[in-house]
Structure 1
Amino acid sequence: MTAGEPDRAARRRTRVRRRLLLALTVVLAVAAAYGGWRVTGAPRTLDGGDGTTVVVGGRASGGSDALASGSLTVVDGCLGIGRTVVVWPHGTDVVGTDPLVVDVPGVGERSLGDDVAVGGGQVHGYRAVPEECAGRPLFRAAPG
């Protein structure tokens, strides 16, 4: 062993530790970004009448703490709040189509134009959103 080899080994261990720390940081950041959602079951779409699609998420536990509130609207063919498309919580159902009325777990029945508020968080690239709505801001409502 030469005098420089212990320093080389120490530097190598330091590099390995830094890489592991970086990898752990990335994993934790990704986990935090998803807000602890645990989703089972496939999302689905419901026919709200007049070409309106109601996007309903799979069963979820947990969720984010953001709030979406405003008038129930149709956003490029999908049911939303204001100008944001909403992925409604599992169990949401269409109970009327003329006018559109949805029953949202934890919220109750709401018609187009009614004020509504749901907790949840912004999401990107949700697979069940129809193409015509995919370019809009997307909010996943947490279970009620």
Structure 2
Amino acid sequence: MLNQRRDRVVGTIALLVVGTTAALVGCAGGVTVTDDGATVIVTDAGFLTGDEASIQGMISITEAGCVGITDTQGGTYPAVWPRGTSLVGDSEIAIDIPDVGIKRLGDEVNGAGGYYEIGTWSVLAEVAERCHWDGEVIGVRLD
């Protein structure tokens, strides 16, 4: 009986260690910054790991030309878009989001994610530089 309990405790600890390690590996990811000259888009490269804050707003452009989100409180932030999101090459700014489709400036977006302070995430240093930004960035998943 004691051996079964000990084995169960050891197994539980092993699962916790594996789960924690997997979560930390997810945090080690980064972002990809793509600049077409006038417009900058930031996409996930392993940075977004599962935050569940409700993200609602409109697709917008920051003063420095980064594709972002204007949230329901009226604040505009650069955004980290889902992996595979790309700029659409036409006369008006639009992005193609995998499994969602093409969204244009002013279109609504609803998803999950979080607000990330640039200064506390080293992977966001290039976002700070390219977007001339020192505040929060919105990371959004639109699954």
TM-score range, shorter chain: 0.5 to 0.7
Could you tell which deviates more after superposition, 73-82 or 52-61?
Answer: 52-61
Q: Which residue of 2 aligns with 1:67?
A: 54
Write the mapping of 1:32-111 to structure 2, written as runs, cut at 5 A: 38=26, 42-47=30-35, 51-59=38-46, 62-76=49-63, 77-82=65-70, 83-111=76-104
Q: Which residue of 2 aligns with 1:27?
A: none
Unaligned segments of structure 1, at least 5 residues: 1-30
Runs of 4+ in 1 over 6 A off after TM superposition: none
Per-residue deviation, 1:102: 0.6
Taking structure 2 as the reference length, what is the TM-score of the superposition?
A: 0.63
Aligned length: 110
Change (3 A) 1:59 1:115: same
Are the equivalent residues in 2 in contact too, given 1:68–1:120 (CA < 8 A)? yes
Per-residue deviation, 1:86: 0.6
2 CA distance for matches of 1:61 and 1:88?
A: 9
Q: Among residues 104, 111, 122, which one is paired with 1:118 in the alignment? A: 111
Per-residue deviation, 1:60: 5.4
Taking structure 1 as the reference length, what is the TM-score of the superposition?
A: 0.62
Per-residue deviation, 1:61: 6.7
Per-residue deviation, 1:143: 6.5
Are the equivalent residues in 1 in contact too, given 2:52–2:112 (CA < 8 A)? yes
Q: Which residue of 2 aligns with 1:140?
A: 139
Identity %: 28
1:64 alignment partner, SS class: coil
Q: Which residue of 2 aligns with 1:129?
A: 127
Relative to its length, the structure with more helix (as a share) is 2
Are the equivalent residues in 1 in contact too, given 2:68–2:78 (CA < 8 A)? yes
1 CA distance for matches of 2:133 and 2:46?
A: 21
Q: What amino acid maps onto 1:78 in structure 2?
A: C
Q: Which has the larger radius of gyration?
A: 1
1 CA distance for matches of 2:90 and 2:125?
A: 25
